[in-house]
Chains A and B, each alone.
Chain A
Amino acid sequence: MAVATKPGGGTTVHDDQEMLISGSEAVAEALTLADIDVVTAYPIRPYDTVMQAIAKKIANGKLVAEYIVAEGEHSQFEIVKHASTVGARVFCGSSGVGWMYAMEAITVTPALRVPMVALVGNRALDDPGAFGVEHNDALSVRDLGWLLVWIDTAQEALDTTLIAYRVAEDRRVFLPVAISADGAFLTHSQTITRVPPQGRVQQFLPAYNRGDLLLHPDNPITVGPQVNEDWVIEIRRQNDEATRRSYGVIEEAYADFRRVFGRGPENPWFEEYMTEDADIVLMGMGTLSLPVKVAIRNLRKQGKKVGLIRLRWFRPFPYEQLARALQHAKAIGVIDRDYSFGSPFGSGVVATEVRAALYNADHRPPLIGFICGLGGREVTLEDVSKAVDICYAAANAGRAERPTYWLGVRE
């Protein structure tokens, strides 16, 4: 289905406004530009700064939307799910165990093809209670049909929110998108961010049109009838097809974003930093990119040729593109800000998926998983340096001595 957007007015960004805002506030700016209709809030750190920012915008008349404070995350996500089925553009979000409390609602949303956008302020899962960043909350839904994207700056938060609505609400997709922002590091830190004008956004983001799936007396339908084994696999196949189609829609969206806003990455799937001649390629998601990039610059001064692939889209997983990008590496170090107890090799989630992506490749460099930075502990320059040394050893030996390391643990 062709997307109706007017031709862009050139590639200048003179009409962007500069603001000093956090990742959460940047999302709130994007939501205002996207003219969302219904938003539900419930307090939990660290995502809920976005809901506080939205509340201010509504109170000051900057954003017109129904703002509902729910009595729990399950209701929070159910309320927007239902608002979306009658045609409202919706937003929601949570962190850590709040996201888990909503899990039933989160599970049914992609099955119902509800194109909501959610912010996950990544936070460690209880128990014990801890506010710091871990990625397991968002990753826990990776099989269910949610599109998952990780961002690392406030700018990327704003831009990706607009892209998320564009992708989610594309009729070929109609799947929910969860934008993951590292708790504290991104949700709370304030950086200079460019905020585009409303008019430009309208060129990029069409209205939400639910078509023949709209729940309204003028379109009498039954949504979600009970089924048995005669129907389930066909229904899952439909979601499979929609997820496959999302690859193309994501690429279209980023290309159109560049055209309209005059900025944005050429490659939607991941950011490549100094990978052209890298012997060792590190991988990760989210704000660990900052210490890793600084460490890489330091290591390069020492003559070590290291690069970074920062993965944005975890679902759909860009396995073909990654396999191509990794084929010249002599060793790969995947830094997981998550854990996956009992997984093959005890590796984190991202490492396990990258290994799978490389399974059919002609050249499979040694791949080592590094569990690091859990619960908000920093990924330090020393951690990165150690990881690179381990990767070099593996590259020279042609194989990894151990498949998984836990970095930074007091031992």
Chain B
Amino acid sequence: MADATTFTNDTQVLLPFKGVKKVAIEEYFTSGHRTCQGCESALVMKLMVKASGPRTIVLGSTGCMYVANTTYYTTPWVVPWMHTQLGSSGSAALGTAAGLKSLMKKGKMKSEPINVIAFCGDGGGADMGLGAISATLTHKEYNSLILLYDNESYANTDIQLSGLTPYGAHTTFSPPGAVKRIIHTRWKKNVAGMLAAGHPECRYVATVCASYAVEMMNKVRRALTIGGPTFIHSLDPCPKGWDYDPMLSHELGELAVETGIFPLYEVEDGVVKYYGKTKAIVEGRKRKPVREYLLKQGRFAHFNEEDLAYFQAKVDEMWENWDIPGVVSFRKAPADIPMPS
């Protein structure tokens, strides 16, 4: 029986990797997962646990990073991993952390800081499981990271639109047709900003992209070190759902950032800090036109010039008219950008 007085609520101290050559060499998510060629979400999994190290428990909600990885009755995970339900990433993180904490406090388990990471896709996180994530982010006494990997669709069920699917994208629930060219007219929800703004005691929220691997891993390490519940939103190009040559996966991640469509930032104790190419944009670097990104993907092949102009205008507005550009949509002045007919 361990000594109950040795328990502290400390986290592991994971310092940032100082460059790509200092990155840990070990793999805790290894080869042999049934994901698409060029799956950036799989890359996120690999980098996530490479950053966290072996004293980690991962909870994976239903989605590609469940089904594809473990098809069938198999696993690519080296660290302990457990499936959880589609809307349960928040509750899985909370339950796991609370269970460990209780046992350690009472001396029923050896005390040590164990990373608890629960991941969800855009469907499971921004749609179904948003409530549970929100609740978990208010429980500052439990340390966990919730990572939302966003491939902009319910990808595992063969590509249906979610609350994070971009305007107009072709999915099986939004096929362009003879009468309705655009079924999905909704604009993407801003999850990271929303969660950062709405949970004042959540110490860390960040957006990442695996194309910038070292920064992505360092955000994971920061989230696991800072203490309390934390949230990271990762944008993952998806060859299947976005329809492109898998070889383009890395480049599309970069383009999403360079066009300003996906801003990279962290919010630590309420302070917003842009990083990477987004920082350059904030400091005046010109954003690449969105069409450079959109027209490399089959899911936007049906866009006409009006759609492209609309998309550009919305992204421009986010940078030029928001009080905190790219982060939260409180505006300097009302903006009305009419949607194409």
Contact = CB atoms under 8 A, between A and B. Distances in A.
Contacts of B106: 35, 37, 64
A215 B84 CA distance: 13
A74 B91 CA distance: 9
A52 B75 CA distance: 42
Contacts of B199: none
B72 A85 contact: no
B128 to A, nearest CB: 10
B134 interface: yes
A79 B80 contact: no
Nearest to B75: A222
B309 interface: no
A224 B67 CA distance: 10
Interface in A169-194: none
B82 A108 contact: no
Interface residues of A, number: 45
A315 B189 CA distance: 45
A215 B94 contact: no
A224 B92 CA distance: 14
Interface in B70-108: 70-75, 77-85, 87-88, 90-92, 94-96, 98-103, 105-106, 108
B102 A82 contact: no
A83 B95 contact: yes
Given A80-B95, A82-B91, A85-B96, A231 B82 contact: no
Interface stretch (A65-73, A242-250, A263-271, A356-364): A65-73
Contacts of A79: 91-92, 94-95, 98
Classify chain B: how many residues form its interface, as a range. Answer: 35 or more
A38, A222, A231 interface centre (most CB from chain B within 10 Å)? A222
Given A82-B59, A87-B108, A70 B82 contact: no
B76 to A, nearest CB: 9
Given A81-B95, A226-B71, A88 B84 contact: no
A105 B84 CA distance: 9
B99 A222 contact: no
A375 B94 CA distance: 35
A66 B81 CA distance: 23
A214 B73 CA distance: 18
A220 interface: yes
Interface of A: 35, 37-38, 40, 64-66, 68, 70-72, 74-76, 78-88, 90, 104-105, 108, 207, 215-217, 219-228, 230-231
17 contacts: A37-B102, A37-B103, A37-B108, A75-B131, A75-B132, A82-B59, A82-B99, A83-B102, A86-B57, A88-B99, A216-B114, A217-B79, A222-B81, A226-B66, A226-B67, A226-B83, A230-B72
